[in-house]
Amino acid sequence: MRTQVAIIGGGPSGLLLGALLHKAGIDNVILERQTGDYVLGRIRAGVLEQVAVAALDEVGVGARMHKEGLVHGGFELLFGGKRHRIDMHSLTGHIVMVYGQTEVTRDLMNDRAAKGLTTVYEAKEVSLHDFDGTTPHVIYVHNGQTHRLDCDFIAGCDGFHGVSRASVPKQAIREYEKVYPFGWLGMLSDTPPVSHELIYANTDHGFALCSMRSPTRSRYYVQVPLTDKVEQWSDERFWDQLRLHLDDEARANLVTGPSIEKSIAPLRSFVAEPLRFGRLFLAGDAGHIVPPTGAKGLNLAATDVKYLGSALIEHYQHKSDQGIDHYSERCLRRIWRAERFSWWFTMLMHRFPDESGFNHKVQLAELDYLVHSESAMRSVAENYVGLPLNFGE
Ligand code: APR
Ligand code: PHB
């Protein structure tokens, strides 16, 4: 089999890239290790920046997002028993769209299937070949048969644990990483959200986040030690722990119910440099990871894919490789800005196991300054809604 662009990974990055390339008439094949249902079963974040909203609209997949998504003009910070609203819309003129990544993935998957585009699910033993030469190709096993996919380019959209980054010679790649000494225990429940906007809390019990997927489906997180196992957390224990973080009003409004998903995610910051190796490009989680505090993961993936899609379209339609040659540099500038914000917000909002009381007092002092300074709130707001694509250019 031959295609123009072989896409490794059928998550949000791979699916969005495939849609952008198809729209430009560029043939592409997605090789996905899991089944489609497995991919949809992953529960991830749900805050879309304008760049991600625009990308879905661009490929004609935004209708359900606009119908069912929730437009948010602000979020709240909870500390010292009180909530303080960051009015993003008045500070920046922008909003965010609350729409679960699972739904983004579902919309992209359904669109791809409706267009009859090729996605090979349960593609096993994927290996990348000659991506630094002139005959890049991918070998994989499907239904026990070995296949070769010849291509012009390979897009590594296969996430943090994928094969693409692992296929790059060690001497050709630099990795930067910070692992945080705690995790997020997340719960999804078909209960009305405790508030109409997100609440990020820093309390004596650590970090908590009150989020949502719809007016009838809530998403909550509480900080837990890395040693905790989800089996140790009954629904009742989770709700009790969440209540400890909430202010009186939120506690009174909290509606509890059975969990429909519950899991613990570790937090890390990670960046691989560069993101291009000959005819192989890394995009999304394959190239970088952010702690979920700043809700940047999916949005960074969307920006990478926008840059990569434009570069490949320029190659095929205008016989120019300027975009390809600048892909890594353009992505990394935006990635490091989001890494910085996500790191800063994570350091501000969590309790660290070995911290002195001094660290928590400084966190509270910074939060107190932040919510009383329009300049500081504007800085947080412009990073949260997403810096303009041409920022700093
Ligand atoms: N071969 C084929 N597919 C693979 C392989 C492999 N060797 N390894 C991983 N995959 C698939 C995974 O099964 C997954 O479906 O690649 C896909 C990668 O998807 P994600 O991990 O969701 O990464 P990405 O598409 O970049 O989306 C980034 O997901 O993890 C969140 O916070 C992150 O919101 C961000 C988004
Ligand atoms: C979520 O709704 O899952 C979510 C929202 C905001 C975050 C992280 C996760 O910062």
Residues 234-283 pLDDT 10s: 999 999 999 999 999 999 999 999 999 999 999 999 999 999 999 999 99
What does DSSP assign to residue 247? -
Q: What is the CA(285)–ligand 1 centre distance, in A?
A: 7
pLDDT band (50, 70, 90) for residue 43: confident
Q: What is the CA(60)–ligand 2 centre distance, in A?
A: 25
Residue from 75, 197, 219, 384 whose mutation best tests the ligand 2 pocket (most atoms within 8 A of CB) = 219
Ligand 2 atom closest to Cα of residue 213: 2
pLDDT tens, 87-143? Answer: 999 999 999 999 999 999 999 999 999 999 999 999 999 999 999 999 999 999 999
What's the predicted TM-score (pTM) here? Answer: 0.97
Q: Which residues are catalytic?
A: 72, 200, 292, 296, 384
Q: Is residue 358 part of a domain?
A: no
183 CB within 6 A, ligand 1: no
Closest by Cα among 335, 338, 337, 367 to 350: 367
pLDDT tens, 60-103? Answer: 999 999 999 999 999 999 999 999 999 999 999 999 999 999 99
| Burial class (CB within 10 angstroms; exposed 0-12, middle 13-18, buried 19+) of 7 | buried
Over range 339-360, report the average pLDDT. Answer: 94
The rounded Cα 138 to chain-centroid distance in angstroms is: 26
Q: What would you measure as the largest C-alpha separation in the chain, in angstroms?
A: 64
Q: Is residue 141 part of a domain?
A: yes
Q: Rounded to whole angstroms, how far apart are CA atoms 315 and 310?
A: 9
pLDDT band (50, 70, 90) for residue 356: confident
Ligand 2 atom closest to Cα of residue 100: 2
Q: What is the CA(291)–ligand 1 centre distance, in A?
A: 16
13 CB within 6 A, ligand 2: no
Closest by Cα among 45, 180, 159 to 100: 45
Question: Are 267 and 160 spatial neighbours (Cβ–Cβ below 8 Å)?
Answer: no
222 CB within 6 A, ligand 1: no
The 3-state DSSP class for residue 158 equals: coil
Ligand 1 atom closest to Cα of residue 124: 1
The residue whose CA has the least distance to atom 8 of ligand 1 is: 162
CATH number at 103 reads: 3.50.50.60
Q: Is residue 76 part of a domain?
A: no
The residue range of the domain holding 126 is 5-71+95-177+268-353
Q: Is residue 255 part of a domain?
A: no
Q: How many domains does the chain have?
A: 1
Q: Rounded to whole angstroms, how far apart are CA atoms 112 and 220?
A: 31
Angle at 56 between CA 50 and CA 13, to 5 degrees: 100
The 3-state DSSP class for residue 335 equals: helix
The 3-state DSSP class for residue 216 equals: coil
Q: Is residue 364 part of a domain?
A: no
Q: Is residue 101 part of a domain?
A: yes
pLDDT tens, 277-318? Answer: 999 999 999 999 999 999 999 999 999 999 999 999 999 999
pLDDT tens, 359-380? Answer: 999 999 999 999 999 999 999 9
